[in-house]
């Protein structure tokens, strides 16, 4: 029976494999700014303790000539700061690239516990870059959620995992017993009337362990206004924390409209809370 299928969130008590926060710069930052971020890290006991490993990011270049394409390594494309578990797996990654500054967490607990840790790392770096008059063009949140279901039938897993009749899924997935992928993109109104660009990718596949569901949700608050003809609404460092909260809620709102009530209950998902 469908009600007897076992659904297992990939991360234990919740389903989040990776959470990432980011700010995007309207103008690519210079190598001097990347070097200043490295110096700030090296001079901060807090940052060094939380992200002990620092390494340059290499940029890949692809050139196409008469002999075909060739791949090479360009100058350093940025900086990566990281923290690893005892088994060597990364648990926190901060990347400073010319176009963005991001923080990824692979040991997510709850929003109220993870967000402050991420901001403790990001905000000093954001302040450093903003002080050099680099404008922010977007603030973003990205989640990857994963569930396993103990069945080899995609349609049985679909009926167990998702809210019946949800508008976020194509009607055909309810009648075809096969793996599927759905991509959705839309705009919504965000904090202070800014435009939010949302993307959701949903994959349901099968392997030797049964069915695997992955949901990747990306939400970016832009500096443009949502209303027709609206002007630019600059994003300041002081806006970042509240912007991230609003994007986090947007992601939860979509999941509540997508997942079945039993799955929401299992992972403690309620849209009106900020945890």
Domain boundaries, the chain: 1-26+136-268, 29-134
DSSP 37-100: HHHHHHH-HHHHHHS-EEEEEEEEEEEEETTEEEEEEEEEEEEEEEEE-TTS-EEEEEEE-SSE
Q: Name the region of 133 (left: φ>0; alpha: ψ -120 to 50; beta: rest).
A: left
Q: Mean pLDDT for the chain? A: 90
Residue 64: the pLDDT is: 64
Residue 226: the pLDDT is: 77
List, for residues 204-216, the tens digit of each pLDDT value: 999 999 999 999 9
Would the pLDDT of 185 be above 50?
A: yes
How many CB atoms within 10 Å of residue 138?
21
Would the pLDDT of 4 be above 70?
A: no
Residue 207: its H or E element:
strand 194-207
Which pLDDT band holds residue 65 (cuts at 50, 70, 90)?
low
Would the pLDDT of 1 be above 50?
A: no
Residue 44: the pLDDT is: 96
Would the pLDDT of 78 be above 80?
A: yes
List, for residues 215-259, the tens digit of each pLDDT value: 999 999 999 887 777 789 999 999 999 999 999 999 999 999 999
């Amino acid at each position: 029976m469908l009600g007897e299928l076992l659904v297992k969130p990939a991360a234990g008590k919740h389903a989040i494999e990776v959470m990432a926060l980011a700010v995007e710069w309207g103008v690519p930052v210079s190598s001097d700014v990347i070097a200043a971020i490295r110096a700030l890290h090296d001079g901060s006991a807090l940052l060094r303790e939380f992200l002990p490993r620092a390494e340059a990011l290499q940029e890949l270049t692809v050139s196409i000539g008469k002999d075909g394409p060739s791949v090479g390594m360009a100058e350093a494309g940025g900086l990566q700061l990281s923290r690893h578990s005892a088994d060597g797996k990364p648990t926190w990654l901060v990347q400073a690239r010319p176009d963005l500054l991001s923080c990824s967490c692979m040991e997510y607990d709850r929003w109220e516990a993870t967000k402050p840790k991420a901001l403790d790392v990001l905000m000093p770096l954001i302040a450093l870059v903003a002080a050099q008059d680099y404008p922010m063009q977007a603030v973003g949140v990205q989640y990857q959620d994963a569930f396993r279901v103990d069945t080899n039938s995609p349609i049985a897993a679909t009926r167990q995992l998702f809210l019946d009749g949800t508008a976020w899924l194509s009607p055909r997935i309810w009648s075809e017993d096969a793996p599927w992928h759905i991509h959705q993109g839309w705009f919504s109104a965000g904090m202070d009337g800014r435009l939010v660009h949302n993307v959701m990718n949903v994959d349901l596949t099968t392997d030797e362990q049964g069915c695997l569901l992955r949901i990747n949700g990306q939400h970016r608050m832009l500096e443009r206004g949502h209303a027709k003809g609206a002007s630019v609404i600059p994003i300041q460092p002081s806006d970042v924390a509240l912007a991230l909260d609003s994007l986090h809620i947007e992601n939860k709102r979509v999941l509540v409209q997508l997942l079945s009530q039993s799955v929401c209950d299992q992972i403690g998902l309620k849209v009106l809370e900020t945890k």
